[in-house]
Amino acid sequence: MRAAVLDCIYELAKTDDRILFMGSDLGKGTLDQFKREMPERFFMEGISEAHLIGMAAGLAFEGRIPYVNTIATFLTRRCFEQIAVDLCLHSASVRLIGNGGGLVYAPLGPTHQAIEDLAILRALPNMTIVAPADANEMRRLMPATVDHPGPIYIRVAKGSDPLVTPEGGPFEIGKAFLMRTGEEALVLTTGITLKIALEAASALENQGIGIAILHVPTLKPLDREAILAKAEEVPIVIAFEEHSIVGGLGSAIAEIIAEANFRPSKKFARLGIPDVFPDQYGSQESLMGRFGLTVDRLISTILKFLEQTSARYSTANLGENHGIS
């Protein structure tokens, strides 16, 4: 996915001279071809993220479209005020490309793990947030970022993530995509959790249980209409993300589900990173296991809810109030 996003920036810049690439202090060789062919639009500005965002804002005020790339924690935590004031308040067309969203940098520790990037940026007016599931989705997304109004945060997973979305086809910022239909539960995903949800869905299908998967690459603006329409059809809704349970996809879904006041109410769970800093190194996969971001946990959560739901339905059949579970 990381290679895909950089390729896309290069390809887009070749045909649109408003586009600039800006990095802080990225790895040797990053976008060398871009630098060789369009040196005047390639900026490596040093380990100074606050300045980088302000400078990008100044360029955007003049009509440029800077794509700013560095490690997600540095791009969001360090320069939050610049993002809020210089980008969001001005609705500046700057694209933030955050490397290593979630637990990608597990071996490097909590300073490098972007576990709350979606939450803090989601709180900012005028911000758009997208977390693609794989390189294919990233390639579909990127052309749509060029003329999108205001700032965009693009959360990048690690390289070589398995491909789970189609190669071609449309992508619309702000739209959720139905990846699988099913009557018994709805799982909402963003970023790479789509892959895990698809595996869980296949396993459940073998047990005769059909679950729908609505993939939500755009966290903000949220596709409220599509989410509520799908939630309406099922008794169980689960939000599944590689992010803190505070403020990300789970919170966003909880907010709209709560306000929809469904009757009967939905069984709802947020599966994500608990409200802690990761306490182990290892790998992205091992930390995801530690926090239960796994096929097994998703399946067991759904099965537990299904049991409770059937019990409620049988009680309801005896004439009890549907709204009270």
From 4, 9, 19, 53, residue interacting with other proteins (rule: CB under 8 A): 53
Alpha-carbon distance of 72 to 97, in angstroms, equals 7
Instruction: Check residue 221 and give left, alpha or beta (phi > 0: left; psi -120 to 50: alpha).
Output: beta
Instruction: Using the minimum distance from each CB to other proteins, give the nearer residue, 94 or 114.
Output: 94
Indicate whether 38 belongs to the interface with other proteins (CB under 8 A). no
Instruction: Using the minimum distance from each CB to other proteins, give the nearer residue, 41 or 77.
Output: 41
**In the complex, minimum distance from the CB of residue 99 to other proteins, in angstroms, rounded to a whole number:** 20
Alpha-carbon distance of 75 to 99, in angstroms, equals 9
Alpha-carbon distance of 301 to 58, in angstroms, equals 48
**In the complex, minimum distance from the CB of residue 55 to other proteins, in angstroms, rounded to a whole number:** 4
In terms of Cα–Cα distance, which of 314, 325, 306, 313 is closest to 186?
306
**In the complex, minimum distance from the CB of residue 117 to other proteins, in angstroms, rounded to a whole number:** 20
From 3, 16, 32, 61, residue interacting with other proteins (rule: CB under 8 A): 61
**In the complex, minimum distance from the CB of residue 49 to other proteins, in angstroms, rounded to a whole number:** 9
From 7, 11, 48, 289, residue interacting with other proteins (rule: CB under 8 A): 48
Pattern 65-94, binding to other proteins, x per CB under 8 A? ----------------xx--xx--xx----
HSE-up (13 A, CA, CB side) for residue 270: 19
Indicate whether 239 belongs to the interface with other proteins (CB under 8 A). no
Pattern 207-226, binding to other proteins, x per CB under 8 A? --------------------
- Where does residue 125 rank: exposed (0-12), middle (13-18), buried (19+ CB within 10 A)? exposed
**In the complex, minimum distance from the CB of residue 70 to other proteins, in angstroms, rounded to a whole number:** 14
Cβ density class 195-233: b for 16+ within 10 Å, e for less: bbbbbbbeebeeeebebbbbbbbbbbebbbebbeebbee
Binders of other proteins in range 116-175 (CB under 8 A)? none
Window of 59-67, 129-137, 211-219, 300-308 that interacts with other proteins by CB under 8 A: 59-67
Quick check: 114 and 155 in contact, CB under 8 A? yes
> Alpha-carbon torsion 248, 249, 254, 256, what sign?
positive
Binders of other proteins in range 302-321 (CB under 8 A)? none
**In the complex, minimum distance from the CB of residue 89 to other proteins, in angstroms, rounded to a whole number:** 5
In terms of Cα–Cα distance, which of 182, 179, 150 is closest to 65?
150
Alpha-carbon distance of 19 to 9, in angstroms, equals 8
From 64, 230, 243, 312, residue interacting with other proteins (rule: CB under 8 A): 64
**In the complex, minimum distance from the CB of residue 258 to other proteins, in angstroms, rounded to a whole number:** 32
Determine the residue type at 170. P
The single-letter DSSP state of residue 258 is H
Quick check: 59 and 17 in contact, CB under 8 A? no
**In the complex, minimum distance from the CB of residue 87 to other proteins, in angstroms, rounded to a whole number:** 11
Window of 2-10, 50-58, 181-189, 262-270 that interacts with other proteins by CB under 8 A: 50-58
From 28, 29, 36, 40, residue interacting with other proteins (rule: CB under 8 A): 40
From 3, 14, 37, 46, residue interacting with other proteins (rule: CB under 8 A): 46
Indicate whether 51 belongs to the interface with other proteins (CB under 8 A). yes
Q: How many residues bind other proteins (CB under 8 A)?
A: 27
Alpha-carbon distance of 269 to 249, in angstroms, equals 11
Residue with tokens 């965009």: 152
Residues found near other proteins in the complex (CB under 8 A): 40-41, 43, 45-46, 48, 50-64, 81-82, 85-86, 89-90
